[in-house]
Structure 1
Amino acid sequence: MISGQATVPGPAPAPGPVPGPIAAAPAPGPEPTTATARTSATDSATATATATTATTTGAATATATSDVADAGTGRDAILRAARRAFTQRPYADVTIRGIAADAGVSPSLVVKHFGRKEELFNTVADFGPAAAAELFDAPLDMLGRHMVVTLVRRRRELQSDPLLRVVFSLGNRDERSLLRDRFHEQVTDSLAARLPGPEPALRAELIAGHLLGLGATLSLHREGAGADATPEHIADLYAPAVQALITG
């Protein structure tokens, strides 16, 4: 810490072969003048301000670094790792510790966000938020375009497809079959309930196939022409077929 007034040391004693006794402190000098006192006060205030600024800057830098870390290793990273784990391996082979390692976080953070493994699996198998709050949130006459644009944007912004994980449940009779059941209930059946005209269930299944096919194509051609196209341009080409199934 910088003090308000520093004492100027006297000249050092001449060196000798054996150090002599410590010299007595010099008698105190005259009281500082008003100008000297003001200078010392100014120096003290400057030092205090500098220290405060350094502390504040350090704290702000630490907070910003923490925010960046949380953005990369928080809830979304855990959810992506859990989707990979539960869709690619049997439920019994998946562990919280393994998901945490894949997400780059501690197991305790996984438990904090999602609870036990069963609760995390239920979150992975839940298509409701993606369907109700995102993909289907548009009037019927605009729904086809809305679904295509939303799916493409979500894949790019969140690095996650809202529906495609159900494909990994095909052919499995273990707990992963829950993904199929939830998909039928929350996506296909929910969409069929909104469709006017004949054969709404069939049309809803075909619409779901269009959306899954789009996600699979974008995954297969990650560096293809679709990667350079805007979501709106992809919708210009792809959405009319989806909309035709919606309107019947």
Structure 2
Amino acid sequence: MPAQNLPPRDAIRRAAGDLFVRDGYGATTVRAIAAAAGCDPALVIRHFGSKEGLFLATVSVSGDLTGILTGPLESIGRELVRYVLNGAGSPVAGVYRALLSASDRPEIKERLRASMHDVFVGPLAERIGGARPELRARLAAAQFAGLINACWLVGDPVLAQADHDAVISLYGDAIQRLLTCEDPPPSAG
């Protein structure tokens, strides 16, 4: 059903976002997007150049993390874990799955890398200090992404059934250690 009273470009964006999240990148066609937007497929291509261009213009991972990453540094680890555990059925989980399903495409893989840096690594590295802030922020991002994969992509039943407070404490403190620990001494080699 096309969105009423939206300019065609906005209707295409909305329809594409919904379909990419619901069906994934591979299963979403330009024809399906056009049908949902109430327009001709040629209009989709005219506005966005390609399905990949439309995907990049509509799907973003930056949303809800800003509040956590700008919050108190000493609680970021646990807040990130709480975000993952509470977000398994959220729209952002669908966006993440859509991005991951399309990550074999070079432009989308690059978008994922850039988003990880712009949304997560860059802001954290500026705050945590030390001799290796970017490395520590990237390692924290890798831990965060690992939990997202286990919970949102794989749907690990043990994690889903585990006591959330225990997971928040154990995994959150593991992430937190990377953000607030002392840097290891430089290697002698």
TM-score norm. by structure 2 comes to 0.64
Match of 2:17 in 1: 79
Q: Does 1:123 align with 2:53?
A: no
The code of the aligned residue for 2:145 comes to: L
Match of 1:149?
82
Aligned mates of 2:138, 2:102 — CA distance in 1: 17
Q: Which amino acid aligns with 2:144?
A: L
1:91-115, CA deviations, whole angstroms, 9 ceiling, x for partnerless residues? xx852x42477xxxx3249xxxxxx
Cα deviation, residue 234, structure 1: 1.7
Task: Name the CA distance, whole Å, in 2 between partners of 1:78 and 1:94.
Answer: 9
Alignment map for 1:205-244 (pairs within 5 Å)? 205-219=138-152, 221-222=154-155, 224-244=157-177
Q: Which sections of structure 2, spanning at least 5 residues, go unmatched?
A: 1-12, 40-46, 182-189
Aligned pairs for 1:1-248 (under 5 A) are 79=17, 81-83=19-21, 85-86=24-25, 88=26, 94-95=29-30, 97-99=31-33, 106-108=36-38, 116-117=47-48, 118=53, 121-124=56-59, 126-133=60-67, 135-158=68-91, 160=93, 167-168=100-101, 170=103, 172-219=105-152, 221-222=154-155, 224-248=157-181
Question: What letter is aligned with 1:122?
Answer: A
Q: 2-side partners of 1:148 and 1:76: how far apart?
A: 29
Cα separation, 1, equivalents of 2:104 and 2:90: 30
TM-score by length of 1: 0.51
Q: Structure 1, residues 32-66: CA drift from partner, whole Å, max 9, x if none?
A: xxxxxxxxxxxxxxxxxxxxxxxxxxxxxxxxxxx
| Distance (Å, rounded) in 2 between the aligned partners of 1:159 and 1:128 | 9
Query: Aligned partner of 1:191: which letter?
Result: L
Greater relative contact order (Cα < 8 A, sep 6+): 2
In structure 2, C-alpha distance between the alignment counterparts of 1:78 and 1:234, rounded to whole Å: 35
Change (3 A) 1:164 1:108: same
The aligned amino acid for 1:129 is G
Post-superposition shift, 1:204? 0.8
Q: CA deviation at 1:230?
A: 4.6
| C-alpha distance in 2 between matches for 1:76 and 1:247 | 40
Higher Rg? 1
How far has the Cα of 1:225 moved from its partner? 1.7
Which SS does the other structure have where 1:128 is aligned? coil
When residues 166 and 79 of structure 1 are mapped into structure 2, their CA distance, relative to the original with a 3 A threshold, is: closer
Structural RMSD (CA): 3.4
Partner-residue secondary structure (3-state), 2:106: coil
CA distance in 2, matches of 1:246, 1:215: 18
SS of the equivalent of 1:149 reads helix
After TM superposition, give the deviation of residue 121 of structure 1 in Å.
Answer: 2.8
Aligned to 2:42: none
Change (3 A) 1:128 1:221: closer
Q: Percent identity?
A: 24
Alpha-carbon distance in 2 for matches of 1:129, 1:245: 23
Tell me if the contact between 2:24 and 2:101 (Cα under 8 Å) persists in the aligned partners.
no
